[in-house]
Amino acid sequence: MANINLAVIYYSSTGTNHQLASWAAEGAKAAGAEVKLLKVEELAPEAAINSNPAWKAHVESTKDVPVATLDDLVWADGIIFSVPTRFGNVPSQMKQFLDTTGGLWAQGKLVNKVVSAMSSASNLHGGQEATILSLYTTMYHWGAIIAAPGYTDPVTFASGGNPYGMSATVGQDGKIQENLRDGVIYQAKRTVSVTEWVKNGKSQ
């Protein structure tokens, strides 16, 4: 693997997308990339966070995870995003971060970044696909290159069959219902491979 920088940037309120992002970081490192695991800044008021014990506990347990910055986007050759769905859309915390990238966009510093995304919801048809596609819309404006998993490996079917990106269904017990780890690791490795092709040129 030739010198690929990959940022895994997530937002998570109670831990699901932190788990997906951690698996993605694991897969990208296994593929030989230099990896940063980063969260976007929490914008919700303390009253809302404190009213949900799982949310409060997750904020506390991930307090040492670095917050993503615009410099991280410049550094990265490839980016994997992981977000929960909010009414079929990207959560405001991630949207706020994306909305600060206008300066980089204007300078052409986001062109040809390779991007992939994952999502979660509390039921099987809770908007995971719509959320991923909504996030990708911003990437089209960047001039980024989408590295979706597609059906390029049988693990996609075993992990729920979402070709846009791995997606989790979270039960009332807070646990991911699908067997997603292998699918996430595959998506991360594929993202690193596509990033390498883009950065260094694919010879075949």
For 22-28, what is the mean pLDDT?
97
Instruction: Place domain 5-200 in its CATH homologous superfamily.
Output: Flavodoxin domain (3.40.50.360)
Banded model confidence at residue 204, pLDDT cuts 50, 70, 90 = very low
Q: What would the pLDDT profile of 135-168 be if each residue is shown by its tens digit?
A: 999 999 999 999 999 999 999 988 888 999 999 9
3-class DSSP string for 17-30:
HHHHHHHHHHHHHH
* Residue of 115, 144, 145 lying closest to 132 (CA atoms): 115
* pTM: predicted TM-score of the whole model, two decimal places: 0.95
Tell me the residue length of the chain. Answer: 204
To the nearest whole percent, how much of the chain has pLDDT over 70? 98
Q: Please state the separation of Cα 69 from the chain's center in Å.
A: 15
How far apart CA 86 and CA 83 sit, in angstroms, is 9
How far apart CA 22 and CA 151 sit, in angstroms, is 23
How far apart CA 132 and CA 120 sit, in angstroms, is 10
For 72-78, what is the mean pLDDT?
98
